[in-house]
């Protein structure tokens, strides 16, 4: 079963990262990662350093501003639509 193989591979990822698996196992993992996107994603997350908390903090307000702008834009669009309707033929 594929699910079983995935959990097996994911259990081995830390060992694979430290080169603690046999060449045969490493080959098996490599082959699995090439064909399994979910395990490949896990592997990428595993080898990638954790995101800097400072940059995370920076990211959140930016998102909030974006949201505000989007809301304002929606309001503007609504106003324009109303204007078009009101100044339309009739
Ligand atoms: Zn997998």
Domain locations in the chain as residue ranges? 2-47, 51-90
- The whole-angstrom separation of Cα 73 and Cα 41 is 36
pLDDT tens track for 29-50: 999 999 999 999 999 988 877 6
Residue predicted with more confidence, 78 or 89: 78
From ligand 1's centre to the CA of 38, what distance in Å?
6
From ligand 1's centre to the CA of 13, what distance in Å?
11
From ligand 1's centre to the CA of 72, what distance in Å?
44
- The whole-angstrom separation of Cα 15 and Cα 9 is 10
Look up the pTM and report it. 0.52
């Amino acid at each position: 079963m594929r699910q079983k193989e995935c959990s097996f591979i994911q259990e081995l990822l830390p060992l694979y990262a430290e080169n603690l698996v046999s060449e045969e196992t490493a080959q098996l993992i490599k082959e699995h990662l090439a064909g399994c996107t979910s395990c490949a994603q896990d592997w990428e997350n595993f080898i990638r350093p954790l995101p800097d908390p400072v940059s995370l903090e920076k990211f959140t307000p930016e998102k909030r501003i974006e949201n505000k702008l989007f809301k304002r834009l929606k309001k503007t669009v609504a106003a324009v639509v109303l204007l078009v309707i009101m100044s339309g033929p009739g």
